[in-house]
Chain A
Amino acid sequence: MFGDQARVIASITIRATMGRKRALLFAIPPLILVLVTVLLKLAHPHDPSWPSQIVGIFGFTVVLPLTALIIGTSVVGAEVDEGSIVHLLATPVPRSVVIWSKYVVAAVLTAAFAAVPELLAGLIATGGLTKLTVGLFAGALAGSVMYNAVFVMISVLTTRAIAYGLAYVVVWEGLVGNFVSGARLLSVGQYSLGVANAIAHDGTALNASLSLGTSAVMGAIVTAAAIVIAVRALSAFSLKGDAI
């Protein structure tokens, strides 16, 4: 699994992702999260559910998916866009290794840039390692794993991955998920919240509607399916000709 080919791909991917201007972009949402948490902590709001709302809802509806989006689309998307992915693909490296290496890099980076700030914000907001803090951290880790699978898959399937990913996060998870309860079954955000809630037991404040079982199963299915689709799509990767 971590053979030399995977290591080469992973190291190139990390350097490519961190070296671009985009590194700034995915550092901003988590920064805002921590900042807002600190400010609120200092302001002592009366509402006892504020940690769940800020670290939980804001973190899981905005910070986590958007950070995962930027990272997940750039591990594959940027190279496809530039054309440099050909250098990876014109080798006998199995396509599954390519996807797997990039996916792992994306998940780890998202964990570092979204899940760790979640932990930090949770510690600040609740004052310690409460159930909420631990739950949110676990949920964020799960979210990093699941979201990136979806976004890597979208990046392989289309060049307009960011647009479709945004439509998924903002429209599907944000809007539709609030009004159509069935849609929540197909929402990675809800899976993550389900995991978080299983530990934190703060369902109403977190707006989590799925049980741990449902979240885990659906999450696993979605993740696995996304990876498989991504590998198949990459095996049929096509370079367009010159005049077309």
Chain B
Amino acid sequence: MTADNGAATAGAAPVTGPAAGTGVIHDLGYQHYDGPRLGRAAIIRALYWHSLRSAFGIGRGAKAKIVPILAFGLMCLPAIANAVAVATSSGHARIVDYDTYTYPLRTLVMLIFVAAQAPELVSRDLRSHVLPLYYSRPLRRHDYPLAKYTAFTVACLLLVEIPLIILYLGTIISVSGGSAVWGQTRALIPGLGVAALWAVLLAAIGLVLASFTGRRAYATGLIAIYFFLTWILAKLLVGIAQNGAAPGPGGLVAGVPLGARLPGLISPFTVVDGVRQWLGGTNPGPIPNPGSAGVAYGLMFVLLLGVSLGGLAARYRKVGAS
């Protein structure tokens, strides 16, 4: 365990000055604590809670809550709109699917949320140089990034899963019959799973990019640029490949060319969608069905996740004074 600082021993009487050649430790009244101490797990838990709260701006001023609240509100809009639509058309029309969930909106909101909030968790500590303080407590090297990653993943999970739950409940209210409810439930589960993939991957990438710099503005810029650039590029490349595909009889595209199935690999948003389709999701998404290249998407997901987490662990293995 850590050494005690501010130690006082049974103090001698203070302030008369030491006799020649001897020293005296003054009893300044520091309380000596001998009781039970919480261990490593408690530290990690505390770090986790604190980070989770930071991700939503809780415990900071009002300004820090703007982005999280806005993001959450925007994310829930389709769910609410869907509930209204279903209610007014007696259970028939459905705007939003569970597994794709208004893909462009989710992409944009997650982009903003991760770019804005990942620095709050990670860059702040770097800027104020508190890492040596953290690490001088009974905390192992990997505990800090573990706590941060867990917290941020949970934060992202809340952001993606809760709207799905709202979507589900909103639909359930308006449909009748056990089989309809069961149908909804069966559609919900994979949707929750896909959303979880989003959270897990984006949190990792966001944190590792943010850990490069202590300046929150730069970190936000770095993350946003990475997400934005890769996403637009992927979409454009897919579009180009599909536009140029030789039309089959009747003007329909004969098959999806390889050139349209691969560009999705460069952007995390489309990678997740590729995995979804590889695992059997049929709803249309931003990229066409990868087909045989689906494995590549699975691999890419694992690769991106692994590199990000590894980078995070490496980043925090050594902490200097800065």
Contacts and interface: CB of A to CB of B under 8 A. Distances in A.
Q: CB–CB under 8 A between A and B in the complex?
A: yes
Interface of A: 22, 25, 28-29, 32, 36, 40, 43, 45-50, 53-54, 57-58, 61-63, 66, 69-70, 77, 81, 160-163, 166-167, 169-171, 174-175
Contact of A29 (B220, B229, B241): B229
B221 A70 contact: yes
Contact of A46 (B108, B112, B222, B245): B245
Interface string B209-247: 000000101101110110011001100110111011110
B150 to A, nearest CB: 26
A62 B217 contact: no
Kindly name the residue among A29, A53, A69, A162 whose own CB sees the greatest number of chain B CB atoms within 10 A: A162
B221 A166 contact: yes
B224 A50 contact: no
Given A54-B240, A58-B236, A29 B108 contact: no
Given A58-B232, A171-B112, A47 B217 contact: no
Nearest to B227: A170
A62 B221 CA distance: 13
Interface of A is mostly: helix
Contacts of B116: 163
Contacts of A170: 108, 111-112, 224, 228
Contacts of A66: 225, 228-229
B218 A46 contact: no
A29 B112 CA distance: 19
A30 to B, nearest CB: 11
A53 B236 contact: yes
A61 B218 CA distance: 20
Given A45-B259, A48-B244, A50-B244, 9 more contacts: A40-B237, A46-B244, A47-B243, A49-B240, A53-B236, A62-B232, A62-B233, A77-B217, A162-B218
Contact of B228 (A22, A32, A62): A62
Contacts of A161: 217
Contacts of A22: 218
Nearest to A178: B104
A143 B116 CA distance: 26
A123 B244 CA distance: 21
B321 to A, nearest CB: 19
A142 to B, nearest CB: 21
B115 interface: yes
B213 to A, nearest CB: 8
A56 to B, nearest CB: 10
A215 B104 CA distance: 28
B220 to A, nearest CB: 6
B222 A25 contact: yes
Given A45-B259, A163-B217, A61 B232 contact: yes
Contacts of A160: 217
A199 B301 CA distance: 42
10 closest A-B pairs by beta carbon, nearest first, are A46-B244, A47-B244, A47-B243, A162-B217, A50-B240, A47-B240, A162-B221, A45-B244, A166-B224, A62-B232
Contacts of A46: 243-246
A162 B224 CA distance: 10
A175 B232 contact: no
A61 B229 CA distance: 9
A29 B243 contact: no
Contacts of A49: 240, 243
